[in-house]
Structure 1
Amino acid sequence: MAWNEPGGNNQDPWGGKRGNDGPPDLDEALKKFQEKLGGLFGGAGSGGGSQGGGLSSSALGIIVVGLLVVYALFGIYQVNEQERAVILRLGVYSQTKGPGLHWNPPLIDTVEKLNVTKVRSHSSRGEMLTEDLNIVKVDLSVQYRINDARAFALMVRAPEESLAQATDSALRHVVGSSPMHEVLTEGREKIAFDVQARLQAYLDAYTTGIEISTVNVEDTAPPNEVQAAFDDVNKAREDEERLKNEAEAYANGIIPEARGKAQRVIEEATAYREQVIAKAEGEAKRFEQLLFEYNKAPAVTRERLYLDAVQEVMANSSKVMIDVEGGNNMLYVPLDKLVNASAVSARTQELSPEIVREISERVADQIRRENITNTRRREVR
C-alpha cells in the first residue's frame, strides 16, 4: 500500500508524518544531511535535536590544504644522470628535462623517462643474394643508443621496430652490391662499415632519435647444401696465399744475394781495371827508365836484358835444348836433374833467381868446354 493511499496512515518516507498530501520537503532532507556531515567533522550543534550550520571554515581550509599538498607531492619526480624526461602537457610536447629533481603538475603533464646512455643491441640474421647471384647467410649485430629523447618518444610510433626493418634493408642492399668472395672472406669489415653508414642515414631520415654505435658482422657462411664445395674453395685460396708467401720469401732471399754478387763482380772488375792501369803505367815508367839507361850504356843494358830474359824463360822450364855452333850434335840439358843434384830443398820450392843464375853459368861453362874440345878434334884431323 502506498504511503499516500487511504489507510496508509499518511506515513511520509522523507521524514515523518504529514497531515496533508503533497511532495516531500527537500529543504528539510538537505538540512538533515548537512547535520550528519557536520557531526563527522566536529560541527555538532546543541542537544535536543538542534543542529549547527554545516562545515566550519577551518575544517574546510585544512581539507583544501591537504589536497593541495598531496597533489604537489604527486608531481615531484627525479631524473637520473643517464636519463632524459620528455614532458607532455595535455598530450602536446612541452619540453625535455635533464638530470635533477623536477616538478610537473599531475594529471596535466605526462612524464616519460628515457635512458640515453645505455647501449642497446639488436641482432639480424638471414639469407640473401650477392652481386654474383649467390646465396649467403649473414649474422649481424647492431649496437645503438638514444641521442634524441623527444624524437625517440614522439616522432616514430615504434622506433626499435623501425630500427630492425632498416637494418634488414641496409644489410640486404650492401650484400646485394658485393660479390660472394668479399662477403665470405676479407670484405666483412667493409660491409659492416657500409651497413652502419646506410643504416644511420635511414634512421636520421625517419627521425627516430637513434644513434648507431657499432655494426659487427658476426658470421657469414654459404648455404648448408654447398658448404663442402665452399670449404674446398677456401682451402685452395689458402694454398694459393701460402704459395705466394713462399714465393715472396724466396724472392726476398734471392734478390739481395744476386744484387750482392753483381756488386761484387762490379767491384772485382773495377779492381782489375785499376790493377791493369797501374801495371801498364808501371811498365811504361820502367821502360822509360830502361831507355834512359840504355842510352847511357847500350852494351851493358843489352846483356842485362838478355840475362833477364833467359832467367825468366828458364825459370819456367825444366829442359833445355842447345844447338852447338859448328857441330851436328844437339845438346840436351836436364835442368830438373841438375837442380835435384845441386839443391835438395829445391824439390818442393820454386827455383830462385840465384839458383837459375848458377845453373846457367854451369851450362855455359860446359858448353864452352865442349866447343873447345870439338875445335881441337877438328884441328887434329
Structure 2
Amino acid sequence: MIKINQIFKLINYTRLLVTLIIIIITFIIFSSIYTVKDGEVGILRTFGKVTEYTKPGLHLKFPYPIQEIDVINITRTNIIEFGLIDTENLNNIGNHESQSITKDNGIVLTNLMVEWKIMDPYAYLFNIKNPEYVLRSIINSCLKSVIGKNTIDYILTDGKIHIANSLKEHIQRELKNYNFGIEIIGVKILDARPPEDIKHAFEAVADAIEKKDTLINKAEEYRNKKIPAIEGEASRIIKEAEAYGQERINKAKSETEIFNSLYEEYRMNKEVTKTRMLIETLEEVLPGANIYIVDTKENTINYIPIQ
C-alpha cells in the first residue's frame, strides 16, 4: 500500500515537472520571437547594452534576461493636449498648468495641442527617464515664458498664431539642449481666455476692437470708391491744362512767325511796310470809316480811296 502511494506521488511530481518544463519552453520560445512593424525600429540589448538596431520583420533573440528588445515607432505623430481648462473651476487660481502670468500681470488660461514624433530612438529611450513627463514639464515652462513676454490683450485677440510659433521654437530649442530625440511638429493654441470673473470685460474690449475694424473697413471701401472718381477728374483737368498750354504755345509760335515775316519785309522796304501797317491799324481802330491816302507832294491834291 505504501509503495502504491509512493508511485502516485512520483507520478504527480513527474506531471508537475513536465508542466513546468513546458511552461519554461513556451516562455523561451515566445520571448525569443519578436516582430518589428513598418514605421518602427527595434533596439536590441544584450545584458543591458545596445547591440543591434533591427528593421521591420520577424526576428529571433535570446530569451530574457540575456537579451531585451524595445520597439519604437518613428513615424507616428504623437499628440499632447496640454493645459485643459476645467470650466467648472475657472476661478480657482492655483498651480494649474493652464494658468500663466502675462507681461502686464494679467492671468490667462490656455489650452494647447502639441504634435511631436521620435527622431532618435536611442536618445528618446536612454537620455531621459520618463520622457513624456519631462516633455510636459518643458512645455509648461516654455508656455509661461512666452506668455510672460506678451500682453493679455494681444494673447486674447491677434497674437495666438505668433505665440504658437514662438512656443514651438522655444520648446524645440529646450529639447535640443537635453538631446531628447524628439521633434516638435506643430503647436496650436486651442483656447485662450481670462478667468471667468474678468471674462466679460475682455469680451467688451474684443467687441470694441471688432467694431473699430468694421468702421475701418467701411472707410477703406468708401475711399476706394471715391479715389477713382477724384483721380479721373484730376486727369481731365491736367489734360485740359496741357491742351490749353499747347494751344498757347502754338499761337505764340504763329505770332512769332508773323512778326518775323513782317520784320523781314520791313527791313527790305521800310516805308511801304510802315504805310501798310498803319493802314491795317486804322482799319482795326476805325471799322467802317472811309480811309484815303493823300499825296501832297504835287500842287494838285490827289487822293486814293482805300475803301
TM-score, normalised by the number of residues in structure 2 = 0.68
Aligned twin of 1:214? 186
CA separation of 1:274 and 1:105: change in aligned 2, threshold 3 A: same
- Distance across 2 between alignment mates of 1:276 and 1:176: 71
- The offset of 1:81, in angstroms, is 1.4
State the aligned residue count. 256
Secondary structure of 2:69's partner?
strand
Q: Which moved more, 1:301-310 or 1:271-280?
A: 301-310
User: Does residue 123 of structure 1 match 2:95?
Assistant: no
- Distance across 2 between alignment mates of 1:267 and 1:172: 63
- Distance across 2 between alignment mates of 1:142 and 1:81: 24
The C-alpha deviation readout for 1:23-74, integer Å capped at 9, x for no partner, is: xxxxxxxxx99xx99xx9xxxxxxxxxxxxxxxxxxxxxxxxxx99995675
- Distance across 2 between alignment mates of 1:288 and 1:119: 93
Secondary structure of 1:229's partner?
helix
Aligned twin of 1:245? 217
The C-alpha deviation readout for 1:147-169, integer Å capped at 9, x for no partner, is: 22223333333111111121111
Alignment match of 2:44 (pick from 87, 93, 103)? 87
Matches within 5 A, 1:143-158: 143-158=115-130
- Distance across 1 between alignment mates of 2:139 and 2:278: 108
Instruction: Show structure 1 runs of 5+ residues with no match.
Output: 1-12, 16-31, 41-66, 312-359, 365-381
- The offset of 1:242, in angstroms, is 2.8
**Kept after mapping to 2: 8 A contact 1:147/1:211:** yes
Aligned twin of 2:166? 194
Counterpart code for 1:227: K
**Kept after mapping to 2: 8 A contact 1:96/1:150:** no
- Distance across 2 between alignment mates of 1:196 and 1:304: 95
Larger relative CO (CA 8 A, sep 6+): 1 or 2? Answer: 2
Q: Which moved more, 1:239-248 or 1:195-204?
A: 239-248
- Distance across 2 between alignment mates of 1:253 and 1:119: 50
RMSD across aligned positions (CA):
3.6
Alignment match of 1:105 (pick from 62, 65, 70)? 62
- The offset of 1:177, in angstroms, is 1.4
Aligned twin of 1:322? none
Matches within 5 A, 1:344-355: none
Counterpart code for 2:107: I
- Distance across 1 between alignment mates of 2:171 and 2:159: 18
- The offset of 1:296, in angstroms, is 3.9
CA separation of 1:309 and 1:115: change in aligned 2, threshold 3 A: same
Alignment match of 2:245 (pick from 248, 273, 286)? 273
Secondary structure of 2:75's partner?
coil
Aligned twin of 1:345? none
The C-alpha deviation readout for 1:238-259, integer Å capped at 9, x for no partner, is: 2222333344444445555555
- The offset of 1:302, in angstroms, is 5.3
The C-alpha deviation readout for 1:338-370, integer Å capped at 9, x for no partner, is: xxxxxxxxxxxxxxxxxxxxxx69xx9xxxxxx
Counterpart code for 1:210: I
Aligned twin of 2:104? 132
Counterpart code for 1:98: K
CA separation of 1:290 and 1:85: change in aligned 2, threshold 3 A: closer
The C-alpha deviation readout for 1:179-213, integer Å capped at 9, x for no partner, is: 11221122111211121122223333334432211
CA separation of 1:298 and 1:110: change in aligned 2, threshold 3 A: closer
User: Does residue 179 of structure 1 match 2:137?
Assistant: no
The C-alpha deviation readout for 1:87-120, integer Å capped at 9, x for no partner, is: 2223333333222232211121112222221111
- Distance across 2 between alignment mates of 1:69 and 1:185: 62
TM-score, normalised by the number of residues in structure 1 = 0.57
**Kept after mapping to 2: 8 A contact 1:72/1:105:** no
CA separation of 1:275 and 1:158: change in aligned 2, threshold 3 A: same
Aligned twin of 2:21? none
Counterpart code for 2:52: Q
- The offset of 1:284, in angstroms, is 4.7
Secondary structure of 2:105's partner?
coil
- The offset of 1:295, in angstroms, is 4.7
CA separation of 1:280 and 1:195: change in aligned 2, threshold 3 A: closer
- The offset of 1:260, in angstroms, is 4.7
Secondary structure of 1:191's partner?
helix
Secondary structure of 2:104's partner?
coil
